[in-house]
Amino acid sequence: MLHPFHSFFLVITLLVSSHAYSWWMWTPGDHVDDSTQSMIGQGYHPDQPIPFSHKIHAGDRQIPCQFCHSSARRSTAAGIPASSSCMGCHKFVNTDAEPIKYLKEKYDKNEPIEWTKVHDLPDYVRFSHKVHMQAKGDDGKLLLADSPDEVCMACHGPVKEMGTAEQWAPLQMGWCIGCHNQVKTPAKDGKPAVTYAPVSCNTCHY
């Protein structure tokens, strides 16, 4: 039988090492580990199965964002590249590195890499990459920035300096509307050349 003194320490150890710890030590404002609570928000930066570096690929090697996120120009989602597009280079590049061996193993087994989603708007919000990527001013130039990569970074922040991606923008309604109120769009549907991106509720809500 355990001496009462030992079981006292056993209880303390259990409290300290289990989830009860965060409840036990909780003070107002603390983050509570509650699986029903969304973990997604500004600064969200989940662990990923491969330490992929945006800095190496998009920064140092200047691979355009849309080489990998190729649906951004033509659909709602930007898309995450399949391992086959990684293997186009990594059949030859850094084949001895551990993450590349893992990549090749998954590719050979025809299994997808299970990247954790970073950004996630609520389902009742309508968002499309295409309309933002294609938005042009009346001078025919891109409206949101000078180059496509910079358009991406207007909303996603300094991705060329990031490792795996993190959520940079708040993605809140005020953030969307703030930009919609600022930006001018070209003439369309008989409306004058200088107007604003729409802010009526059904623009973004179903």
Alpha carbon distance 156, 166 (integer Å): 8
What's the rounded Cα separation, in Å, for the pair 16 and 22? 9
- Distance in Å, CB of 31 to ligand HEC, minimum: 19
Residue 7's identity, in one-letter code, is S
15 or 50: CB nearest ligand HEC:
50
User: Do 106 and 83 form a contact (C-beta atoms < 8 A)?
Assistant: yes
Residues touching ligand HEC: how many (CB under 6 A)? 79
User: Where do we find the tokens 């970074």?
Assistant: 153
Shortest reach from residue 193's CB to ligand HEC, in Å: 12
What's the chain's Rg over C-alpha atoms? 23
Q: Binding of ligand HEC at residue 135 (CB under 6 A)?
A: yes
Using CB under 6 A as the binding rule, whether residue 152 contacts ligand HEC is answered as: yes
Q: Which of residues 91-110 bind ligand HEC (CB under 6 A)?
A: 93-94, 97, 99-100, 103
Contacts 24+ apart (CB under 8 A), 145-153: 148/64, 148/65, 148/66, 148/73, 149/58, 149/64, 149/65, 152/65, 152/69, 152/72, 152/78
**Minimum Å distance from CB 154 to ligand HEC?**
5
Of residues 3 and 117, the one with the C-beta less far from ligand HEC: 117
Q: Which is nearer to ligand HEC, 15 or 169 (CB)?
A: 169
**Least distance in angstroms from the C-beta of 172 to ligand HEC:** 4
Hey, which residues between 20 and 49 contact ligand HEC (CB under 6 A)? Answer: 48
